[in-house]
Structure 1
Amino acid sequence: MKKTLIALALSSAMSVSAFAADSYTIDSTHTFPSFEISHLGFSIQRGRFDKTVGKITLDPVAKTGSIDVAIDAASVDTGLADLEKHLRGEEFFDTDKYPTITFTSSKLKFEGDKLVGADGEFTLHGVTKPLTLQLDHFKCGAHPMTKKPRCGANATATLKRSEFGMAKYVPLVGDDVKIVIQVEADKD
């Protein structure tokens, strides 16, 4: 009898925590991962990706959650059609062979009640490596127009593109790439 009560208590506690996390769908009209890279040492060039989808779960009470994001590599946008064609080619993103860039995480980082980062796996050009996103902005609340719950953040990270098999023109075109992701997501 005692074992049955303990098992029942544990299973109900586990099911409560399983339902405590909220699920969010990324709003692709307000989420644009971008990058910054040195060009011949003269300037910092920027580009972004126009198509991003994904899901985020968040349980601020338990300080847990997950991120699952997919970026369409062919949606690279620099404002220059010829450069975008070059970036989609074999020397850089090789989008025919590697159409998707992903970030997945089940290790969200909190300072007190504030979400400040995520440790995860980043896949680019067919190579997967650990990556830590740092958040310098995070907010959840009711969207002022739709009145629906929404969360938003600004995340940054830096990686070496050569570690992902994209070493063409290093060091003339920088090896260090800063990633900046502004993201908004609606509660499901």
Structure 2
Amino acid sequence: MLRSVALVITALVVAGPAAAQTTWRIERGATDISFVTRRFGAVVATGHFAHYDGTLALDFDRPERSRIRVTIETGSLQAGSALMDGFIKGESMLDTGRYPTASFTSAAVTRTGDRSLEIRGQLTIRSITRPITVTAVVDGDIDRARRGESLPFHANGTFLRPAFELGREVNVVDDAVELVIKGQLGR
């Protein structure tokens, strides 16, 4: 009997910190995942992805325990015209026929301010995985979110096209591509 009680207490102690971690999903109707490319500082191309999924295990009190995973359907890209969509989805860029998804998986989450986080992780595009750092900022009230309300946020990170073999022969845009996410998390 004493051994059973000790096992239950041990299980509660071990489960205690994890209880602060809550699973969230990116709200599809209220979130935009997009990219921005520039040439000499001027915006050259932008677009967004219509289909994506994201699961976040967030611990607001101990962000280092948080885990994030986002998957994007590359074929859902919309860049404003059929010509641009076809080019970016084509073989020299995303090659959506061979690589239908891109993904991000966090490796470390660090608080950088009252409402901001640095999220280091792995970005995979065209089956090539490289490290990336994303900055995220909570735009809503965390206490309200803990009570079940949606949590507005925005995040951004930058990667280099050559690292993912994207458009090696393309010279009309700089190598840097900015990823921008503005949206809401819900349970």
Q: Could you say which TM-score interval applies, normalised by the shorter chain?
A: 0.7 to 0.9
Work out whether residues 60 and 113 of structure 1, in 8 Å CA contact, stay in contact via their aligned partners in 2. Answer: no
More helix by share: 2
Q: Give the SS at the match of 1:92.
A: coil
The reply to whether residue 46 of structure 1 matches residue 57 of structure 2 is no
TM-score (normalizing by structure 2) = 0.84
User: Equivalent residue for 1:26?
Assistant: 26
* Residue correspondence of structure 1 range 69-148 to structure 2 within 5 A: 69-111=70-112, 113-139=114-140, 140=142, 142=144, 148=148
The answer to whether the 8 A contact 1:150-1:186 is kept is: yes
Give the aligned partner of residue 157 of structure 2.
157
The answer as to whether partners of 1:167 and 1:175 remain within 8 angstroms in 2 is no
Identity percentage over the alignment?
25
For residues 31 and 127 of structure 1, the distance between their equivalents in structure 2, rounded to whole angstroms, comes to: 26
Structure 1 residues 136, 25: closer, same or farther in 2, change over 3 A? closer
Aligned to 1:67: 68
Q: Which amino acid aligns with 1:107?
A: A
1:70, distance to aligned residue in structure 2 (A):
0.6
**The residue matched to 2:86 in structure 1 has which SS?**
helix
Letter paired with 1:54: G
Match of 2:57 in 1: 57
Q: Distance in 2 between matches of 1:17 and 1:177?
A: 37
Aligned residues: 184
* RMSD (Å), alpha carbons: 2.7
Q: After TM superposition, give the deviation of residue 172 of structure 1 in Å.
A: 2.9
* Contact 1:115 1:138 (8 Å CA) reproduced: no
Q: TM-score, normalised by structure 1?
A: 0.84
User: Any unmatched runs of 5+ in structure 1?
Assistant: none
**Poorly superposed stretches of 4+, deviation over 6 Å:** 2-7
Going from structure 1 to structure 2, the CA distance change for 1:86 and 1:150 (only over 3 Å counts) comes to: same
For structure 2, the residue ranges without an aligned partner over 5 or more in a row are none
User: Deviations for 1:47-71, whole angstroms, at most 9, x for unmatched residues?
Assistant: 1111111111111122321111111
Cα distance in structure 2, aligned partners of 1:14 and 1:171: 54
Q: Partner letter of residue 69 of structure 2?
A: D
What SS does the corresponding residue of 1:173 show, helix, strand or coil?
coil
**Gap change, CA 1:172 and 1:6, over 3 Å in 2:** same
CA distance in 1, matches of 2:104, 2:97: 19
By percentage of residues, which structure has more strand? 1
